[in-house]
Amino acid sequence: MNKEPMTPEQLEKAANILKAIAHPMRIAILEYLEDGEKMTVTQIHNLLGLEQSTTSHHLGILKDKGILASKREGKNNLYYLKYKNIGQVLECLRKNV
């Protein structure tokens, strides 16, 4: 395979994305959003059984690192995967753990 090596900037961004994902609750959040779902903080915190503030914290990290995006609908922010290929990372994890 002749793949072009990543630049230092790309390596840094990749490492930051992997660090952000590397938490059990964040992986769970990504799984809920994996199929193109858009969910509110309340929906996610109910599914995970976490405090809403804890859920917001995890969503903030994922959004800050560019993994999630959100859009306002009425009083709620709907969170969704910014890049659908994150699902490939999750699938790789499922097959290898």
**What per-residue confidence (pLDDT) applies to 87?**
87
> Which residues are 72's β-sheet partners?
77
Reported confidence tier of residue 83, pLDDT bands at 50, 70, 90: confident
Fold of 9-96: Arc Repressor Mutant, subunit A (1.10.10)
How far is it, in rounded angstroms, from Cα 17 to Cα 3? 20
CB 30 within 8 A of CB 58: no
pLDDT > 80? residue 2? no
Which helix or strand (DSSP H or E) is residue 60 part of?
A: helix 52-64
Q: What is the pLDDT of residues 19-49, one digit of tens each?
A: 999 999 999 999 999 989 999 999 999 999 9
The whole-model pTM stands at 0.89
Number of helical (H) and strand (E) elements in the chain, helices listed first: 5, 2
Reported confidence tier of residue 1, pLDDT bands at 50, 70, 90: low
